[in-house]
Amino acid sequence: MFRHRINGAVLAVTAIALVLTFAACGDLSVSKLSANYHFGKANRFFTENQYRKAIAEYELCLKNNSSMTQAYRFLGESYKQLYKPGVNNTDNNDKKDKALQALSKALEIEPNNKDLIYSLGDMYDKLRDFPKAEKLYLRILELEPANMSNYYVLAEFYKRYAGEKKEIAEKAESMYLRRIEADPENPQGYAYMAAYLEPPSAADPNLLLKSYELAAEYRNRIIALQPNSSEAWLGLGINQWSRSYRFQFLPQETRLATANECLKTLQKAISIDPNYPEPYAYLSVLYKSTLSKLEPEKEARYLAEGDKASDKFQDLRKRIAARKKLEEELKKTG
């Protein structure tokens, strides 16, 4: 799943909206008109990723109007964009301090502004300051307990630190479960939980296997809610392939049984949507990397089936790319 961090594109759209908002401001005092001018100019630089120029304009804006919350926010965001995590030198530390100062000032003006709380929490997250970041993310949940996305944001935050302490891993799992409990008919909550339980690696392979087996249960719950979703069946198929391929300490008959279940699952995904490319890619991998090894006497047939699935995957991807290109060209001519 995707990671919920401050997104530059989203901030750019926000900045553009703020340009229009302040351009319409009815306050005609010279200082505030000047502040609005520099604010609009700064936002344009921000949307163009020219953060140093944006910083200069935000500072001019604040000289003329020291109460503009969004100017402090985007000043902090500009310094944050220039800050390089892990680099310890005077210039980089100065950017860190100024980002924290600006975002803290904005939050001081509007203490219940979720976007500001999240921005400052994200900065502390970049600094790996877990206690301060956690406090801010929990504040968001306190302000909006009914917003499902907040549980995911906090769960993903804990997930990034889960390898450091067992209790943090438990907090991550708790947040995923709370999201499911808050909206048990929403398949997305089960998908987040399954993805969390399917890490790429772990120190103990036996514990990792149990985690993947538990993830499969959540994948099956998604299918129960969305039986006609090709993506849901693919998610289960990938889980089954991982268990048949990765855990080679299991008995061969167990791995083969799981691989055959995976084959049925991927074929189900294809039957629901024959034009969905990804199931063919995993079908190819299943034939070539797993079934051909588990049943070497059938290797030639499995390799041929794998090539066939791979060709189908490539063909569908090309068709999708061609259709997308045509749509873009039609938009231009339209």
**DSSP letter assigned to residue 287:** I
Tokens found for residue 132: 């301060």
Q: Which residue has the higher pLDDT, 231 or 22?
A: 231
Q: What are the backbone dihedrals phi and psi of residue 76, each rounded to the nearest 5 degrees, phi first?
A: -65, -40
Between CA 49 and CA 46 the distance in angstroms is: 5
The 10s digit of each residue's pLDDT in 94-129 is 999 999 999 999 999 999 999 999 999 999 999 999
Question: Count of alpha carbons within 13 Å of 286, Cβ hemisphere only?
Answer: 30
What digits encode the pLDDT tens for the residues 146-183?
888 899 889 999 999 988 888 998 999 999 999 899 88
Local confidence band at 27 (pLDDT 50, 70, 90 cut-offs): very low
Q: Establish if 239 belongs to a structural domain.
A: no
Lowest-confidence segment of 19-23, 266-270, 287-291 by average pLDDT = 19-23
CB atoms within 10 A of CB 271: 11
Distance CA 261, CA 263 (A): 5
Give the confidence band of 143 by pLDDT, cuts at 50, 70, 90: very high
Structure confidence at residue 182 (pLDDT): 86
How many domains does the structure of the chain reveal?
A: 1
Is residue 190 domain-resident? no
Please report, rounded to a whole number, the percentage of residues in the chain having pLDDT higher than 70: 91
In a domain? residue 114: yes
Residue 125: inside a domain = yes
Amino acid in position 42? A
Chain mean position to CA 213 = 23
The whole-model pTM stands at 0.76
- Does 164 reside within a domain? no
Enclosing domain of residue 137: 8-144
In a domain, 161, yes or no: no
Lowest mean pLDDT among 8-17, 32-41, 129-138, 233-242: 8-17
For the stretch 305-329, pLDDT in tens is 999 999 999 999 999 999 998 888 8
- pLDDT tens column, 39-62: 999 999 999 999 999 999 999 999
Q: Tell me: the pLDDT tens digits for 184-227? A: 999 999 999 999 999 888 779 999 999 999 999 999 999 999 99
> For residue 122, what is the domain's CATH number?
1.25.40.10
pLDDT at 239 over 50: yes
Q: Which of 158-167, 238-247, 275-284 has the lowest mean pLDDT?
A: 158-167
Task: Please report the pLDDT score of residue 2 as a whole number.
Answer: 37
| pLDDT classification of 20: cutoffs 50, 70, 90 | very low
Q: Would residue 154 count as lying in a domain? A: no
Give the mean model confidence (pLDDT) for residues 272-294.
Answer: 97
Q: What region does 220 belong to: left with phi over 0, alpha with psi -120 to 50, or beta? A: alpha
pLDDT at 14 over 90: no
How far apart CA 249 and CA 260 sit, in angstroms, is 18
DSSP 89: S
| Inside any domain, residue 128 | yes
Say which DSSP state 62 is in: H
